[in-house]
Amino acid sequence: MNHPAPPAAVRRPFPAELLAELTASFGERVSTSEAVRSHHGRDESPFDPQLPDAVVFAHSTDDVQAIVKLCARYGVPIIPYGNGSSLEGHLLAVQGGVSIDLSEMNRVLSINAEDLTVTVEPGISRKALNEALRDTGLFFPIDPGADASIGGMSATRASGTNAVRYGTMRENVLGLTAVLADGRIIKTGSRARKSSAGYDLTRLFVGSEGTLGVITEITVRLYPQPEAVSAAICTFHSMAEAVRAVIETIQIGVPVARVEFIDSLAVRAINRHSNLTLREAPTLFFEFHGTPAGVEEQAGLVQEIAAQNGGEGFEWATRPEDRSRLWNARHSAYFAMLQLKPGCRAVTTDVCVPISRLAECVIETEQDLKASPLPCPIVGHVGDGNFHVAMLIDPDKPEELAEAERLNRRIVERALAMDGTCTGEHGVGLHKMGFLVAEHGADTVDTMRAIKHALDPQNLMNPGKIFSWGA
Amino acid sequence: MNHPAPPAAVRRPFPAELLAELTASFGERVSTSEAVRSHHGRDESPFDPQLPDAVVFAHSTDDVQAIVKLCARYGVPIIPYGNGSSLEGHLLAVQGGVSIDLSEMNRVLSINAEDLTVTVEPGISRKALNEALRDTGLFFPIDPGADASIGGMSATRASGTNAVRYGTMRENVLGLTAVLADGRIIKTGSRARKSSAGYDLTRLFVGSEGTLGVITEITVRLYPQPEAVSAAICTFHSMAEAVRAVIETIQIGVPVARVEFIDSLAVRAINRHSNLTLREAPTLFFEFHGTPAGVEEQAGLVQEIAAQNGGEGFEWATRPEDRSRLWNARHSAYFAMLQLKPGCRAVTTDVCVPISRLAECVIETEQDLKASPLPCPIVGHVGDGNFHVAMLIDPDKPEELAEAERLNRRIVERALAMDGTCTGEHGVGLHKMGFLVAEHGADTVDTMRAIKHALDPQNLMNPGKIFSWGA
What CATH number has the domain bearing residue A46?
Answer: 3.30.43.10
Closest residue by Cα to residue B440 from A6, A345, A202, A429: A202
Measured in angstroms, the CA of B92 and the nearest CA of chain A are apart by 18
Terminal Cα-to-Cα distance of chain B (whole angstroms) = 30
Partner residue facing B454 (CB), from A444, A445, A450: A450
Q: What is the DSSP string of A447-467?
A: HHHHHHHHH-TT--BSTTSSS
Strands B386-393 and B117-120: unpaired
Strands B98-101 and B78-81: parallel
**Is B171's CB within 8 Å of A167's CB?**
yes
Is B158 at the interface with chain A, CB within 8 A? yes
**Is A385's CB within 8 Å of B421's CB?**
no
**Is A443's CB within 8 Å of B180's CB?**
yes
Examine the domain organization and report whether B187 and B255 are in the same domain: no
Domain boundary among B279, B306, B335: B335
* Structural domain contains residue A468: no
Give the Å distances, CA to CA, from B465 to A299, A360, B5.
50, 46, 11
Mutation pick from B117, B177, B199 vs chain A, by most beta carbons of A within 10 Å, is B199
Q: How far is Cα A291 from Cα A422, in angstroms, rounded to an integer? A: 37
**Is A197's CB within 8 Å of B435's CB?**
yes
Closest residue by Cα to residue A336 from A266, A385, A283: A266
Cβ atoms of residues A265 and A377 within 8 Å: yes
Measured in angstroms, the CA of A159 and the nearest CA of chain B are apart by 9
Strand partners, A258: A287
From chain B, the residues in CB contact with A160 under 8 A are none
Closest residue by Cα to residue A427 from B123, B197, B398, B360: B197
Mean of the per-residue pLDDT values for chain A?
95
On the CB side of A172, CA atoms within 13 Å amount to: 30
3-state class (DSSP) for residue B124: coil
On the CB side of B56, CA atoms within 13 Å amount to: 28
**Is A187's CB within 8 Å of B251's CB?**
no
From chain B, the residues in CB contact with A168 under 8 A are 194
Going by the DSSP 8-state scheme, the letter that residue A392 receives in this structure is E
Measured in angstroms, the CA of A212 and the nearest CA of chain B are apart by 10
Measured in angstroms, the CA of B393 and the nearest CA of chain A are apart by 25
Segment 166-195 of chain B within 8 Å of chain A by CB: 167-168, 170-171, 180, 184-188, 190-195
**Is B223's CB within 8 Å of A194's CB?**
no
Examine the domain organization and report whether A99 and A112 are in the same domain: no
pLDDT of residue B2: 44
**Is A114's CB within 8 Å of B355's CB?**
yes
* Structural domain contains residue A85: yes
- How many helical (H) and strand (E) elements, i.e. helices and strands, does chain B have? 17, 18
- pLDDT-based confidence at A257, cuts 50/70/90? very high
Closest residue by Cα to residue A265 from A159, A114, A366, A157: A366
* Structural domain contains residue A178: yes
Query: Which uninterrupted H or E stretch holds B137?
Result: none
Examine the domain organization and report whether B367 and B396 are in the same domain: yes
- Total count of domains within chain B: 4
Mutation pick from A118, A157, A169, A196 vs chain B, by most beta carbons of B within 10 Å, is A196
Query: Which chain A residue shows the shortest CA-CA distance from B252?
Result: A224
* Structural domain contains residue B26: yes
- pLDDT-based confidence at A251, cuts 50/70/90? confident
Closest residue by Cα to residue B23 from B77, B67, B62: B67
Q: How far is Cα A1 from Cα B344, in angstroms, rounded to an integer? A: 77
Query: Which chain B residue shows the shortest CA-CA distance from A168?
Result: B194
Segment 381-410 of chain B within 8 Å of chain A by CB: 384-386
Examine the domain organization and report whether B119 and B215 are in the same domain: yes
* Structural domain contains residue A272: yes
Examine the domain organization and report whether A113 and A200 are in the same domain: yes
Q: How many other CB atoms sit within 10 Å of the CB of residue B229?
A: 18
Q: What is the mean pLDDT of residues A375-391?
A: 95
Q: What is the DSSP string of B212-249?
A: S-EEEEEEEE-EEPPSEEEEEEEE-SSHHHHHHHHHHH
Instruction: Give the residue ranges of DSSP H helices in A135-283.
Output: 150-156, 163-166, 169-172, 201-205, 239-251, 264-274
**Is B207's CB within 8 Å of A193's CB?**
no
Examine the domain organization and report whether A252 and A328 are in the same domain: yes
- The count of CB pairs under 8 A between chains A and B is 277
Which residues have a Cβ under 8 Å from the Cβ of A449 and sit 6 or more positions away?
A467, A469, A471
* Structural domain contains residue A442: no
Q: How far is Cα B339 from Cα A410, in angstroms, rounded to an integer? A: 63
Domain boundary among A191, A224, A257: A224
Q: What is the pLDDT of residues B254-268, one digit of tens each?
A: 999 999 999 999 999
Strands A117-120 and A283-290: unpaired
Instruction: Give the residue ranges of DSSP H helices in A157-192.
Output: 163-166, 169-172
Query: Which chain B residue shows the shortest CA-CA distance from A221?
Result: B354
Examine the domain organization and report whether A92 and A32 are in the same domain: yes
Chunked into runs of 10 residues, chain B (471 residues) has average pLDDT values of: 54 97 98 98 92 98 98 98 96 98 98 95 98 96 94 97 96 98 97 96 98 98 94 94 93 92 95 93 95 92 96 87 88 92 94 95 95 96 95 94 96 98 97 96 98 98 97 82
Partner residue facing A385 (CB), from B112, B188, B193: B193
pLDDT of residue B317: 84
Examine the domain organization and report whether A209 and A258 are in the same domain: no
Is A293 at the interface with chain B, CB within 8 A? yes
Examine the domain organization and report whether B82 and B164 are in the same domain: no
Q: What is the pLDDT of residues A151-187, one digit of tens each?
A: 999 999 999 999 999 999 999 999 999 999 999 999 9
pLDDT of residue B1: 35
Q: Residue B251's domain is classified under what CATH number?
A: 3.30.70.2190
Residue A2 confidence (pLDDT) above 50:
no
Which residues have a Cβ under 8 Å from the Cβ of B371 and sit 6 or more positions away?
none
Measured in angstroms, the CA of B95 and the nearest CA of chain A are apart by 20
Cα dihedral sign, A70-A71-A72-A75: positive
Q: How far is Cα B186 from Cα B8, in angstroms, rounded to an integer? A: 32
Query: Which chain B residue shows the shortest CA-CA distance from A453?
Result: B454
Query: Which uninterrupted H or E stretch holds A351?
Result: none
* Structural domain contains residue A351: yes
From chain B, the residues in CB contact with A423 under 8 A are 195-197
Cβ atoms of residues A302 and A294 within 8 Å: no
Cβ atoms of residues B6 and B21 within 8 Å: no
From chain B, the residues in CB contact with A188 under 8 A are 440, 444
Examine the domain organization and report whether A92 and A140 are in the same domain: no
From chain B, the residues in CB contact with A186 under 8 A are 440-441, 443-444, 447
- pLDDT-based confidence at A5, cuts 50/70/90? low
* Structural domain contains residue B218: yes
Q: What is the ipTM of this complex?
A: 0.96
Is B270 at the interface with chain A, CB within 8 A? no
Domain boundary among B167, B192, B224: B224
pLDDT of residue A1: 35
Examine the domain organization and report whether B187 and B216 are in the same domain: yes
Segment 302-331 of chain A within 8 Å of chain B by CB: none
∠A30-A33-A34 over CA atoms, to 5°? 140
pLDDT of residue A143: 95
Q: Residue B354's domain is classified under what CATH number?
A: 3.30.70.2740
Give the residue numbers spanning the domain of B266. 228-335
Partner residue facing A207 (CB), from B187, B200, B451: B200
Examine the domain organization and report whether A136 and A195 are in the same domain: yes
**Is A200's CB within 8 Å of B157's CB?**
yes
Segment 340-379 of chain B within 8 Å of chain A by CB: 350, 352-356
Segment 196-225 of chain B within 8 Å of chain A by CB: 196-201, 203-204, 206-208, 212, 223-224
Q: How far is Cα A424 from Cα A251, in angstroms, rounded to an integer? A: 20
From chain B, the residues in CB contact with A442 under 8 A are none
On the CB side of B352, CA atoms within 13 Å amount to: 25
Backbone dihedral angles phi then psi of residue B45, each to the nearest 5 degrees: -75, 165
Measured in angstroms, the CA of B338 and the nearest CA of chain A are apart by 24
Segment 405-464 of chain B within 8 Å of chain A by CB: 419-428, 432, 435-436, 439-441, 443-448, 450-455
Closest residue by Cα to residue B172 from B208, B216, B207, B212: B207
Within chain A, what is the greatest distance between any pair of CA atoms?
Answer: 69
Residue A9 confidence (pLDDT) above 90:
no
Q: How far is Cα A450 from Cα A462, in angstroms, rounded to an integer? A: 16
Q: Residue A177's domain is classified under what CATH number?
A: 3.30.465.10
Q: Name residue B33's amino acid.
A: S
Closest residue by Cα to residue A193 from B251, B284, B327: B251
From chain A, the residues in CB contact with B353 under 8 A are 192
